[in-house]
Structure 1
Amino acid sequence: MKLLQKTMLLVCCSSSMAVLANDFSFDRPGTGFGTGITPVGRLAWEQSLPSVNYQQSTLEGDRQKNLTLNGDVLLRTGLASGLELQLGWDGPAWSQTKYRGQTHEKSGNGDVSIALKKAIDLNDDKMSMAVLARAQIATGNDEFSAHDDIYTVGSSLDYKFNDLVNTGISMYYEVQNSDWSVTAVPNINYKIAGKLSGFSEFVYRKQESQAYQYSLGQGLIYSLNDRAQLDASIAVQLNGDDRDYKAGLGFAYLF
């Protein structure tokens, strides 16, 4: 009898963990963030393998090319029901600049960040919402740092259209050295086949005293199981005369 009770308890606990994993969602890839919250006592590790940024511009009539790689990481853990703590690091970075026949390479570390994300109960089976408060601390090396701290308030709204398609929008309001910026990221996520899904997003950004910025991102996500995924993404800047591409591979796991 005791053996049967222990077996039933183990099955119930395993089922509960599976439900938690199924309700959870990773924030990578993409510019926006999801509405899922890390369960209490669990840790989500989201790692780029790496992120790549390529820029090509014209400087004094000559073409300048810049390539940057960095291994950014985000750790998320549940503090309470519907509330999580996030610790981020832009990671080790390396850059190469080619200009007028000369090549310069640099390496260093990026900035760190700390954030809180809170789920908002909308009492709706198809719609979910979360808000984010984040501080990016300019601790990185000069070549890979924002130089001044960035404080961000964000919101994300997700709508489950059906079992195959999700739509949503993320909004960010940032302040850096008294300058404000706003970023809007409408997105769509869709099932492709089996464990493979995709996403598309449009990024609009307006920074104080700066021109509008637009970019378009696409990506693929492969779910290894309920707690792990692989992803690949690419984004291209749509405005301006310079060429600006971002791409990356990533891995995420829920402990």
Structure 2
Amino acid sequence: MAILKTATLVLVSSLSVSAMAAEFSFDRPGEGFGTGITPVGHLAWEQGLPSATYTETTIDGAKAKTVTLNGDMLLRTGLTPSMELQLGWQGPAWTQTKYKGDKEDNSGLGDVSIGIKKAIDLNDDKLSMAILAQAVIATGNEGFTAEDDIYSIGTALDYKYNDLVNTGIVMNYAVQDGDWSVTAIPTVGYKIAGNLSGFSEFVYHKAESQDYEYGLSSGLIYALNDRTQFDGSIGVDLSGEDRSYKAGFGVSFLF
């Protein structure tokens, strides 16, 4: 753990202080994060309304179906023109499980997170990059928490192919209770018409002593103006025997 923290501090401190932030963009939706930095003196509020997951698994020959809703939230504020502070909360959550004719409801509060995102100047009008060092603090209620703190460092690289299409990839390395994991998220974004755009992403995840996990998701983004955005997305897990789906609605504001 000390090695990760030291590496993070060295990496952040070694970045050029003259790095210029990419054009501002919200980090919602999607599993990764963008390269944009919140302007100094402004606050970005990104709110799930809500996020939902549906999982269907087989236990002793019978199907167990679980639905989870949670109002995840992320606050971002600029510290410098190329660096921002992020505060996140997985929010209030509710889950319902149906198994062999019985139904069980639970509710609780999720974990909180804190992160620092730094933009890297690549001296390229089309290519932008950012690094995010983050800690997820396991403060949530039982059943709605990661149980152990998670420390991660990730990179986001975005390439503006033209005015209609951009591509990118997020690489994230995390450690939890001494076990490492890696997540890769290649993404493509595309303008549809006017203020409406879409995105598609593939999620690859590998943790120590665990099987590979794959997922695919797509969504729509509507920019009401330069400071307000609405989004909706759906996703499916492609690995394992369980059936798992994700969906989400959200709204983001820049104050």
Q: Quick check: 1:72 aligned with 2:72?
A: yes
Which residue is equivalent to 2:5? none
C-alpha separation in 1, matches of 2:23 and 2:80:
15
C-alpha separation in 1, matches of 2:81 and 2:233:
31
Shift of 1:23: 2.5
Which residue is equivalent to 1:13? none
Which residue is equivalent to 1:221? 221
Which residue is equivalent to 1:230? 230
Which residue is equivalent to 1:17? none
Q: Quick check: 1:106 aligned with 2:106?
A: yes
Shift of 1:24: 0.9
C-alpha separation in 1, matches of 2:237 and 2:170:
18
Shift of 1:81: 1.6
The letter of the residue matching 2:45 is W
C-alpha separation in 2, matches of 1:32 and 1:189:
13
**Structure ID, larger Rg:** 1
Which residue is equivalent to 1:9? none
List per-residue Cα deviations over 1:205-236 (Å, max 9, x = no partner). Answer: 00100000000010000000011100000110
Structure 2 matches for 1:27-106, cutoff 5 A?
27-106=27-106
Which residue is equivalent to 2:18? none
Structure 2 matches for 1:1-255, cutoff 5 A?
23-255=23-255
The letter of the residue matching 1:190 is Y
The letter of the residue matching 1:23 is E
CA RMSD of aligned residues (A): 0.8
C-alpha separation in 2, matches of 1:82 and 1:210:
36
Identity score, percent = 68
C-alpha separation in 1, matches of 2:253 and 2:158:
22
Shift of 1:241: 1.3
SS of residue in 1 equivalent to 2:143: helix
SS of residue in 2 equivalent to 1:143: coil
Dislocated runs of 4+, deviation >2 Å: none
C-alpha separation in 2, matches of 1:235 and 1:207:
20
List per-residue Cα deviations over 1:126-181 (Å, max 9, x = no partner). Answer: 00000000000000001100000000100000000000000000011000000100
**Whose helix fraction is larger, Structure 1's or Structure 2's?**
1
What is the number of equivalent residue pairs in this alignment? 234
Alignment gaps of 5+ in structure 2: 1-21
The letter of the residue matching 1:83 is M
Alignment gaps of 5+ in structure 1: 1-21
